[in-house]
């Protein structure tokens, strides 16, 4: 009896605390809202406790109950973990998925992301690059200078010498789409993929069966080439042959590379501005990206973000500008969300951090969705690291 009375008193105090600690919910126009999303059990407890409150408090609590019930009804995820995300993703309620990917989803293919050990920022050696002392100093201070538009327009060699093995490897199809790429292919096959926005220039998304019209390569692709000055395209195989014979190998892996780099002139304008159709830092993103922001993102039922640090703007707007009604699922080994103001521990909206490498998260989600057989169908086409991840969950 004493225990029951204590629990009843605690519940009554809990009901009163909703009033005392009531806050304005940015997503709700009501003057008072629950400070966190209540469970149905909490709502019932508050309703029962309201009978022991004053008339004024009962009126306020009833208003809170309406708001709380509405917030519960709007929740998409049963839990903020792989199981909860998978249940929603596989459900009929989730039909329009918008995806943002970064370099982390391609690591299993053997392509290190820029910021990880072995990536461009970690291995760049400006002293080996054909450049002036001032340009080398700029690259030493900030390796992204290699891909600045201003740098390329005055000196094309840093870009080409750093990217030489990547360009020629892309021509040879040296790298294969990873487990995460194939997981997106499964989502598409289920009729749920609305748009895929990738910051990656590796072209691995185009190895899948996803309709290229659904893929927005917002930073361009290394698999096509054109003149940065006049825009005239050049056959990619022809471009690669020029790279092979005109650009030196700063990595010391190609004995047939020239000892020094020489200019590659555009056939149309005769300027040395040929390059892959990647978007340089300081250049505008393609119009298709802004169409995604305007037309597709507002319609999203779920926004899936993977393998990106979220520090590059405006690409990060896919996550930052996602509608409140769409859960944001951040898949990364690091807590990248908090760095851009996304608090996955907050109950203000349904944000979830699934910690781990992109392939591991893809395998776990596919398993929880009941889609593992669909994913395993791509086993023979996967890179070795992705096959090892698939074996882990089977």
Tens of pLDDT, residue by residue over 108-119, are: 999 865 666 566
| pLDDT higher than threshold 80 for residue 32 | no
| Residue 6, pLDDT score | 65
What is the average per-residue pLDDT within 239-266?
A: 96
| Residue 31, pLDDT score | 33
| Residue 348, pLDDT score | 74
Q: Does residue 347 or residue 104 have the better pLDDT?
A: 104
What is the average per-residue pLDDT within 372-381?
A: 97
User: What's the CA gap between 289 and 297, in Å, rounded?
Assistant: 10
| Residue 123, pLDDT score | 76
| pLDDT higher than threshold 50 for residue 24 | no
Active site residues: 219
Indicate the burial class of 284 (C-beta count within 10 angstroms; 0-12, 13-18, 19 or more). Answer: exposed
Confidence of residue 124 (pLDDT cuts 50, 70, 90): confident
Distances (CA, A) of 222 to 67, 169, 200, 202: 51, 10, 9, 6
| Residue 75, pLDDT score | 77
What is the average per-residue pLDDT within 277-298?
A: 94
Lowest mean pLDDT among 30-39, 165-174, 313-322, 328-337: 30-39
Lowest mean pLDDT among 27-36, 87-96, 260-269, 329-338: 27-36
What is the average per-residue pLDDT within 177-203?
A: 97
The structure's pTM equals: 0.75
| Residue 74, pLDDT score | 65
Indicate the burial class of 128 (C-beta count within 10 angstroms; 0-12, 13-18, 19 or more). Answer: middle
pLDDT in tens, 311-358: 988 999 999 999 999 999 999 999 999 999 999 988 778 999 999 999
Element (DSSP H or E) covering residue 61? helix 55-74
User: What's the CA gap between 220 and 264, in Å, rounded?
Assistant: 20
| Residue 347, pLDDT score | 75
Strands 274-278 and 302-306: unpaired
Closest by CA to 209, choosing from 18, 35, 381, is 381
Q: Does residue 299 or residue 72 have the better pLDDT?
A: 299
| Residue 20, pLDDT score | 38
Contacts within 8 Å (CB) and 24+ apart, 205-213: 205/101, 205/177, 205/181, 207/176, 207/177, 207/181, 208/177, 208/181, 208/182, 208/184, 209/185, 210/184, 210/185
Closest by CA to 115, choosing from 339, 317, 388, is 339
The per-residue b/e assignment along 328-362, b for 16 or more CB within 10 angstroms, e otherwise, is: bbbbbeeebbeeeebebeebebbbbbbeebbbbbb
Instruction: Quote the mean pLDDT of the chain.
Output: 86
């Amino acid at each position: 009896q004493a225990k029951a009375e204590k629990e009843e008193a605690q519940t009554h105090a809990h009901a009163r605390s909703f009033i005392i600690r009531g806050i304005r919910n940015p997503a709700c126009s009501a003057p008072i809202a629950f400070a966190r999303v209540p469970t149905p059990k909490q709502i019932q407890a508050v309703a029962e406790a309201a009978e022991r409150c004053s008339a004024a408090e009962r009126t306020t609590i009833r208003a809170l109950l309406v708001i709380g019930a509405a917030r519960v009804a709007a929740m998409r995820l049963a839990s903020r973990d792989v199981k909860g995300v998978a249940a929603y993703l596989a459900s009929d309620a989730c039909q329009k998925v918008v995806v943002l990917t970064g370099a982390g989803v391609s690591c299993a293919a053997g392509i290190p992301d820029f910021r990880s050990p072995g990536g461009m920022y970690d291995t760049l050696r400006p002293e080996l690059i054909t450049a002036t002392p001032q340009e080398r100093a700029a690259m030493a201070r900030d390796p992204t200078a290699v891909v600045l538009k201003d740098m390329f327009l005055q000196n094309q060699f840093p870009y080409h010498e750093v990217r030489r093995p990547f360009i020629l490897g892309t021509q040879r199809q040296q790298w294969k789409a990873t487990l995460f790429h194939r997981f997106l292919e499964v989502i598409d096959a289920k009729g749920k993929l609305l748009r895929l926005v990738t910051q990656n220039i590796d072209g691995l998304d185009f190895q899948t069966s996803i309709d290229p019209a659904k893929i927005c390569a917002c930073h361009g692709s290394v698999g096509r080439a054109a003149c940065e000055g006049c825009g005239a395209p050049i056959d990619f195989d022809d471009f690669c042959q020029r790279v092979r014979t005109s650009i030196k190998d700063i990595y010391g892996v190609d004995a047939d590379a020239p000892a020094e780099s020489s200019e590659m002139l555009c056939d149309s304008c005769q300027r040395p501005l040929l390059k892959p159709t990647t978007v340089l830092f300081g250049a505008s993103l393609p119009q298709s990206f802004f169409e995604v922001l305007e037309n597709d993102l507002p319609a999203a039922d779920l926004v899936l973000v993977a393998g990106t640090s979220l520090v590059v703007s405006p690409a990060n707007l896919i996550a930052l500008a996602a509608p409140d009604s769409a859960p944001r699922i951040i898949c990364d080994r690091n807590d990248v969300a908090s760095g851009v103001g996304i608090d996955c521990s907050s109950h203000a909206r349904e944000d979830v951090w699934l910690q781990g490498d992109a392939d591991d998260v893809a395998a776990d989600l596919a398993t929880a969705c009941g889609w593992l057989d669909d994913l395993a169908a791509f086993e023979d086409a996967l890179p070795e690291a992705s096959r090892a991840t698939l074996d882990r969950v089977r």
